[in-house]
Amino acid sequence: MASENPFKPNLTSLPKPGGGEFGKFYSLPSLNDPRIDRLPYSIRILLESAIRNCDNFQVKKEDVEKILDWEKTAPKQVEIPFKPARVLLQDFTGVPAVVDLACMRDAMNKLGSDSKKINPLVPVDLVIDHSVQVDVARSANAVQANMDLEFQRNKERFAFLKWGSTAFHNMLVVPPGSGIVHQVNLEYLGRVVFNNDGLLYPDSVVGTDSHTTMIDGLGVAGWGVGGIEAEATMLGQPMSMVLPGVVGFKLSGKLNNGVTATDLVLTVTQILRKHGVVGKFVEFYGDGMGELSLADRATIANMSPEYGATMGFFPVDHVTLQYLKLTGRSDETVSMIESYLRANKLFVDYNEPQIERAYSSYLELNLSEVEPCVSGPKRPHDRVTLKDMKSDWHACLDNKVGFKGFAIPKEVQNKVAKFQFDGQPAELNHGSVVIAAITSCTNTSNPSVMLGAALVAKKASELGLQVKPWVKTSLAPGSGVVTKYLLNSGLQKYFDQQGFHIVGYGCTTCIGNSGDLHESVASAISENDIVAAAVLSGNRNFEGRVHPLTRANYLASPPLVVAYALAGTVDIDFDKEPIGTGKDGKSVYFRDIWPSTEEIAEVVQSSVLPDMFKSTYDSITKGNPMWNQLSVPESKLYSWDPNSTYIHEPPYFKGMTMDPPGAHGVKDAYCLLNFGDSITTDHISPAGSINKDSPAAKYLLERGVDRKDFNSYGSRRGNDEVMARGTFANIRLVNKLLNGEVGPKTVHIPSGEKLFVFDAATRYKADGHDTIVIAGAEYGSGSSRDWAAKGPMLLGVKAVIAKSFERIHRSNLVGMGIIPLCFKAGEDADTLGLTGHERYTIDLPSNISEIKPGQDVTVTTDNGKSFTCTVRFDTEVELEYFNHGGILQYVIRNLSKQ
């Protein structure tokens, strides 16, 4: 069990410049280890966390040594525990986390323990980043209209989260309408350095959204994880991770006039995708760093998921400190941050000689080589320079259907679809822009591109250009600060003149919440098979994501979004062809409306002020009228409504006692599903819309929910009854028991009937039978969704036998009490002659002390087969979780003893 921290002698006082001390910290220099100076800054943050949290149980001294020896250990793919400083929850994923906390508190109450002990031990920031559906656009009242709709649809979920904000300590809930989670994190929540009762340490964060990485631009180590990992972390458990390789990305030079941060990030994304950085950290350094604003850095860091890295990290330097002051952090806080980071070798001062750091591999980019560009038409790393856009578009029309092709026959490429829009003649061609959206966390944190876009709108308005009325335009800033500086600069009115009215402060077009196109536009596209285009300042443009009717989707900087909206087409060479005709009858070209770097800098300097950030985030504590009017109970225990189809008490702790159930094998289990390779969490976890013929649909209809109100699985993540029915409900599921048939069904072995997976699992449970899942390689790859483990547990799955597991999914299975087993090398279900029609017994000792991490176990079947598997409990801590029936049960019992 845990013991005193062996690094306690390394606690060092940090003096204040004027006397006294800021607090104490675990000093890296006091280790007197020359290896530290060669470590990337991102690895130093992992090292400090390991030293501070070392208890020789959850975090061992050997783990500290692994990190210190990173140059030698990282290539070996060693695992280490990591305890982040805080957890960031986005509302969809925050709901099940708060449900579980409420459920745990109930369980402790029933056990006769002090249920108030169930509180996050790690600070939790929960941002209700309500995803704004752009149902109302091109009108001055769009914000309020969209907000009204969101509260109608999500009132119950919002009320539950508001209850959580009062019921649990150490949990800050940011009300809806405040901004996009990642921008709020950057401007307000990010601490950079914590001072926790006099103990100083670096801010680090895991969040339940992949673009949590945006905070890396602030020098805060952060990335996205699954819900179970986030819950475990906030309850004080370490997360297990592979000690990553770090790609050193050197930046030099300076961006040319007219080149934006978005052009830079699309270039970086393409370079890193080509290099291959999946599972790695990317750390930026070099003389070019001084030329990048904090917002530019955050733009690059935000798109880490698009280039595949765990992090795109920018160590703290003077630019970071300036940004902290700009966004309203106090002078004393900034002084403490700088003093601590300098004292602990975590600050970069480019005015001083640099000690060469070691990286796993090296890349370099001269910023002057970056050209204006977009990415598309279907992937974020398919970059196209602006000068090549017209020729690339025509190549896409010609090419066979694929990431860069639509296969439009030559004879119809010039087709014109004529239609009436609000009584006026209108027409569309292949490449016509029908959606132009300044949206998403990626760019709306960046004043230079936002004000640059407003200047484009201003110049166009003054010259007499106007966006066509059938182009669905929208402006969705990441925070209220953007509105303040747009108004302060006097530029918002030009956005309004071009139809870019503010629709809300949340995710919109980037995640598919574009809303409906005008009926006449939709008909013109569908009836004439037009390849219509969307241009958005987002980070994702996968086919079908933005809107079903926009087959071509391009990522672009906000200024380019406005330019393409004005042109009305992506089939244009901005260098040679006019965008339109001005009020004087003369042609207006791209160069006539494009602002210089100096123009933009001048507006940014005069318009973006610290008081804007202070006033915006002061209002978070006050809420907004609709939020404040939500009525919630004051009780610490949640009053579950059995009739709710959104929030439901899951049965995780049903019949729980103070004594752990202990280790156990599996006896005579049926095979619920028999899979091949590459079953992802998309196949396992409930996602997307609820199919009208599914068990989940049946459940909702039986409870009086109309089909139009089904909403999505995502919106109902707080109801285990819906989510259990949506587990293994993917229409593309390939289950060997079905002999080639694809879909969300399986064979109930005793009867031979073909049933929905949920219905078969329910029948097995009713008859008292356990089940297992058989799988091939890379089981559980993809996004680390918590319901990919929660769902199978609720269905009664006791073990998964696979060739290999995705790392996070394996740990999630352990966290839910499911046994992960691996076939021996060279073996799988096929080589062993397993059909899935057998019954399986897994011979595990009943005494937890007799089980060792990674030991071999014997599996036998009812037809006499026997084979050996490796049990994938990889650490002593995971064995403890298994002994208790899961990670949440382990936490409850431990807290009950305190």
Nearest of 536, 512, 443 to residue 217 by alpha carbon: 443
List the beta strands (DSSP E) in 107-203.
124-127, 171-174, 193-196, 199-202
Instruction: Quick: pLDDT tens for 539-575.
Output: 888 777 788 899 999 999 999 999 999 999 999 999 9
**Topology classification of domain 86-369:** Aconitase; domain 3 (3.30.499)
**Mapped to the 3 state alphabet, what secondary structure does 340-405 carry?**
HHHHCCCECCCCCCCCCCCCCEEEEEEHHHCCCEEECCCCCCCEEEHHHHHHHHHHHHHCCCECCE
How does residue 621 score in pLDDT terms, banded at 50, 70 and 90?
Answer: confident
Average pLDDT over residues 166-193: 91
Residue 764 or residue 629, greater confidence: 764
Distance CA 175, CA 210 (A): 21
Backbone angles phi, psi at 350, to 5 degrees: -75, -5
How does residue 116 score in pLDDT terms, banded at 50, 70 and 90?
Answer: confident
Asked if residue 150 lies in contact with residue 176, where contact means CB atoms within 8 angstroms, the answer is yes
Instruction: Quick: pLDDT tens for 591-608.
Output: 999 999 999 999 999 999
How does residue 136 score in pLDDT terms, banded at 50, 70 and 90?
Answer: low
Distance CA 493, CA 473 (A): 15
Q: Which residues contact 778 (CB under 8 A, 6 or more apart)?
A: 677, 678, 679, 803, 804, 805, 806
Nearest of 332, 541, 528, 586 to residue 437 by alpha carbon: 541
- Residue position matching structure tokens 């969101």: 150
Average pLDDT over residues 656-664: 93
Distance CA 426, CA 863 (A): 71
Q: Is the pLDDT of residue 617 over 90?
A: no
Report the residue count for the chain.
898
* Helix-, strand-, coil-residue percentages of the chain, each rounded to 5: 40, 20, 40
List the beta strands (DSSP E) in 571-679.
580-581, 587-588, 666-674
What pLDDT, on a 0 to 100 scale, did the predictor assign at position 146? 73
How does residue 380 score in pLDDT terms, banded at 50, 70 and 90?
Answer: confident
How does residue 875 score in pLDDT terms, banded at 50, 70 and 90?
Answer: confident
* 318 φ/ψ sector (left φ>0, alpha ψ -120 to 50, else beta): alpha
Asked if residue 63 lies in contact with residue 242, where contact means CB atoms within 8 angstroms, the answer is no
Q: Is the pLDDT of residue 712 over 90?
A: no
Distance CA 138, CA 136 (A): 7
Asked if residue 224 lies in contact with residue 336, where contact means CB atoms within 8 angstroms, the answer is no
How does residue 97 score in pLDDT terms, banded at 50, 70 and 90?
Answer: very high
Average pLDDT over residues 856-865: 96
Angle at 787 between CA 784 and CA 791, to 5 degrees: 140
According to DSSP, the residues that pair with 23 across neighbouring strands are 14
Helix (H, G, I), strand (E, B) or coil at 295: helix
Distance CA 10, CA 25 (A): 8
Mean pLDDT score across all residues of the chain? 92
The total of other beta-carbon atoms located within 10 Å of residue 519's CB is 9
Q: Is the pLDDT of residue 306 over 90?
A: no
Architecture of the 666-897 domain: Alpha-Beta Barrel (3.20)
Distance CA 523, CA 238 (A): 54
Asked if residue 737 lies in contact with residue 671, where contact means CB atoms within 8 angstroms, the answer is yes
Q: Is the pLDDT of residue 130 over 70?
A: no
Distance CA 825, CA 837 (A): 23
Pairing of strands 771-774, 797-802: parallel
What pLDDT, on a 0 to 100 scale, did the predictor assign at position 57? 86
pTM to 2 decimals?
A: 0.86
List the beta strands (DSSP E) in 55-122.
79-82, 86-90
Average pLDDT over residues 80-87: 96
Instruction: Quick: pLDDT tens for 391-422.
Output: 999 999 999 999 999 999 999 999 999 999 99
Nearest of 491, 488, 495, 492 to residue 607 by alpha carbon: 488
Given this chain, do its domains 86-369 and 666-897 carry the same CATH topology? no
CA-based end-to-end distance of the chain: 14
According to DSSP, the residues that pair with 284 across neighbouring strands are 249
Instruction: Quick: pLDDT tens for 255-275.
Output: 999 999 999 999 999 999 899
Distance CA 36, CA 69 (A): 9
The DSSP secondary structure of 718-742, one letter per residue, reads T-HHHHHHTTT--TT-B-GGGTT-B
Taking each continuous run of H as one helix and of E as one strand, the counts in the chain are: 31, 34
Distance CA 572, CA 62 (A): 60
Distance CA 881, CA 888 (A): 8
Instruction: Quick: pLDDT tens for 820-836.
Output: 999 999 999 999 999 99
Average pLDDT over residues 16-39: 96
What pLDDT, on a 0 to 100 scale, did the predictor assign at position 397? 97
Sheet-wide strand order for 552-555? 383-385, 373-375, 552-555, 533-536, 433-438, 472-475
Nearest of 755, 680, 750 to residue 725 by alpha carbon: 755
What pLDDT, on a 0 to 100 scale, did the predictor assign at position 254? 96
Decide if domain 373-608 falls under CATH 2.40.50.140. no
The DSSP secondary structure of 518-578, one letter per residue, reads PHHHHHHHHHHT---EEEESSS---TTTS-TT--EEEE--HHHHHHHHHHTBS---TTTS-
What pLDDT, on a 0 to 100 scale, did the predictor assign at position 154? 82
Distance CA 684, CA 88 (A): 24
pLDDT over 90 percentage in the chain = 74
Asked if residue 846 lies in contact with residue 827, where contact means CB atoms within 8 angstroms, the answer is no
Residue 2 or residue 787, greater confidence: 787
Distance CA 566, CA 358 (A): 48
Nearest of 176, 140, 145, 179 to residue 500 by alpha carbon: 140
Distance CA 282, CA 425 (A): 51
What pLDDT, on a 0 to 100 scale, did the predictor assign at position 204? 98
Domain range summary for the chain, segments of one domain joined by +: 86-369, 373-608, 666-897
Distance CA 713, CA 725 (A): 10
Asked if residue 503 lies in contact with residue 474, where contact means CB atoms within 8 angstroms, the answer is yes
What pLDDT, on a 0 to 100 scale, did the predictor assign at position 674? 97
Residue 128 or residue 190, greater confidence: 190
How does residue 135 score in pLDDT terms, banded at 50, 70 and 90?
Answer: low
Instruction: Quick: pLDDT tens for 482-503.
Output: 999 999 999 999 999 999 999 8
With 0-12 CB in 10 A as exposed, 13-18 as middle and 19+ as buried, what is 55? middle
Q: Is the pLDDT of residue 357 over 90?
A: yes
Asked if residue 93 lies in contact with residue 230, where contact means CB atoms within 8 angstroms, the answer is yes
The DSSP secondary structure of 116-135, one letter per residue, reads GG-S-SS-EEEE--------
The DSSP secondary structure of 802-836, one letter per residue, reads ES-B-HHHHHHHHHTTPEEEEEPTT--TTTTT--S
Backbone angles phi, psi at 638, to 5 degrees: -75, 140
